[in-house]
Every structure is written in structure tokens, then in C-alpha cells.
């Protein structure tokens, strides 16, 4: 998780992420790069694919994101996989 972003900025990041993923009709993982300056979030790029950070994020949250994504791609819903809540990491990576 980000260590220095305000709750307002994190809310904006979540909102943009949701809108981009739904707009692109992504099934599985998406890599979105954003930047923040002065409390404003800028989207730099979005790619409907995994990134090199997935193993690190998976380790931090204790969930195999690649495994979940593979199941979603073949038709399972996040709800059926029990993945409706944002994971709360115990540590950062």
C-alpha cells in the first residue's frame, strides 16, 4: 500500500482504477500507472495485462493474484471466489 498518500487521493485512485477497468472491459489483471501531485491524480497509462509487481503485491497481501485472475478469465466471478473486499496487507513490499 502507498505509505504517503491521503485517504482522498487513495479514493481517487480506486475510482479511476474501477472506471478504467470497467471501460476497457478487463477480465483479469490490469497495470495502471498513475502519478500524484498536489492531491491530484494523473493517469499515465493503462495496460490490460499483468506487470512485474504482481508477485510482490501477491506476497504483501497474502493472495495469489495471478491465480485469481486466471479463474476470472475462464469465467469465475470475483464474488464466487470470495474476493469482494480489498485485501488489507500486513506489511509492505
Domain layout of the chain by residue ranges: 7-73
Distance CA 41, CA 67 (A): 30
Give me the mean pLDDT over the 10-17 stretch.
Answer: 96
Alpha carbons within 13 angstroms on the beta-carbon side of residue 84 total 4
pLDDT in tens, 27-83: 999 999 999 999 999 999 999 998 898 998 898 888 999 999 999 999 999 999 999
Amino acid at each position: 500500500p502507498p505509505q504517503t498518500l491521503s485517504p482522498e487521493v487513495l479514493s481517487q485512485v480506486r475510482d479511476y482504477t474501477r472506471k478504467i477497468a470497467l471501460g476497457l472491459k478487463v477480465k483479469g489483471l490490469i497495470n495502471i500507472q498513475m502519478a500524484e501531485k498536489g492531491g491530484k491524480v494523473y493517469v499515465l497509462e493503462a495496460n490490460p495485462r499483468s506487470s512485474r509487481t504482481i508477485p510482490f503485491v501477491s506476497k504483501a497481501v497474502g493472495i495469489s493474484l495471478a491465480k485469481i485472475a486466471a479463474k476470472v478469465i475462464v469465467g469465475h466471478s470475483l464474488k464466487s471466489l470470495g474476493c469482494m473486499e480489498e485485501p488489507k496487507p500486513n506489511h509492505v513490499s
